[in-house]
Amino acid sequence: MIAAAREAVDLLVQAGNTWHFDGTRQGLHDRDWMALRFLARANRFSRTPSALAQFVGLTRATVSQMVKDLEGKGYLERRRSPIDKRSVTLAVTPQGERILAGDPIKPLVNAIFALEPGANKFRDILRQVLDGLSTTQHSHHADTCKDCIFLAGKAPELPRKMQAEFTCRFFRAGITRGELDLLCVNFERRESRKR
Ligand code: SF4
């Protein structure tokens, strides 16, 4: 069994060449692609420089330079946060979305999609692996609201304009059904799913 696990890791490392590479592709480094990809899928609480730094595993200073470069290329823009007017949120521009259509990880996405109906199983296994790593290495990974410990139903105590189908007890904010599948760096797995 350990040999199979070792073999799986070797294969995973080789698949990693699609998202981890030297130099640039379409003028962007692998970390730039990672940032754009994340911001295109992040929820409104995680589209911030600090959440991005946490996700890509770089310092705030490095991420700040990366954001400036991506802004300069027209792929990202900074906006005043609707949640806290003193902070900034990052938004992928239409030009950024266009370049993401040629994301270097697309061949890998297509290869996994071709596993149907195994793609869902593959996703669930990878999620279990990440959950296991989070427990043993005291690390943290981003995931969606659906299995987050902080997700609850409607909170009647929230002001009417903040009401939505669901509530995030961490941010004390409404979550719409459409936001359930977006990535959040503050995600915490419900105990029942932890391994
Ligand atoms: S419920 Fe969890 S994943 Fe969703 S916004 Fe709140 S902290 Fe993030």
195 band by pLDDT with thresholds 50, 70 and 90: very low
* Residue entry with tokens 């906006």: 79
Tokens describing residue 6:
């070792």
pLDDT single digits (tens) 130-145: 888 887 877 788 999 9
14 Cα: distance to centroid of ligand 1 (angstroms) = 32
Mean pLDDT of the chain: 89
Q: What is the mean pLDDT of residues 103-107?
A: 95
Tokens describing residue 120:
């869902």
- Predicted local distance difference test score (pLDDT) of residue 154: 72
Closest CA to 181 of 141, 153, 142, 133: 142
177 Cα: distance to centroid of ligand 1 (angstroms) = 13
Burial class (CB in 10 A: 0-12, 13-18, 19+), 53: buried
What CATH class is the domain 2-106? mainly alpha
**Is the CB of 42 within 6 Å of ligand 1?**
no
For a mutational test of ligand 1's pocket, the pick from 127, 172, 184, i.e. the residue with the most ligand atoms closer than 8 A to its C-beta, is: 184
In 20-133, the DSSP E strands lie at 76-80, 88-92
> 77 by DSSP, 3-state: which?
strand
- Domain coordinates in residue numbering, the chain: 2-106, 115-193
pLDDT single digits (tens) 23-61: 999 999 999 999 999 999 999 999 999 999 999 999 999
For a mutational test of ligand 1's pocket, the pick from 162, 186, 189, 193, i.e. the residue with the most ligand atoms closer than 8 A to its C-beta, is: 186
Which ranges constitute the DSSP H helices of 118-160?
A: 118-136
Compute the half-sphere exposure of residue 2: CA atoms within 13 Å on the CB side of its CA. 0
> 167 by DSSP, 3-state: which?
strand
Give the global pTM. Answer: 0.88
91 Cα: distance to centroid of ligand 1 (angstroms) = 19
Contact (Cβ atoms closer than 8 angstroms) between residue 162 and residue 174: yes
Cα gap 99→131, rounded to integer Å: 31
**Is the CB of 19 within 6 Å of ligand 1?**
no
* Residue entry with tokens 């991005």: 52
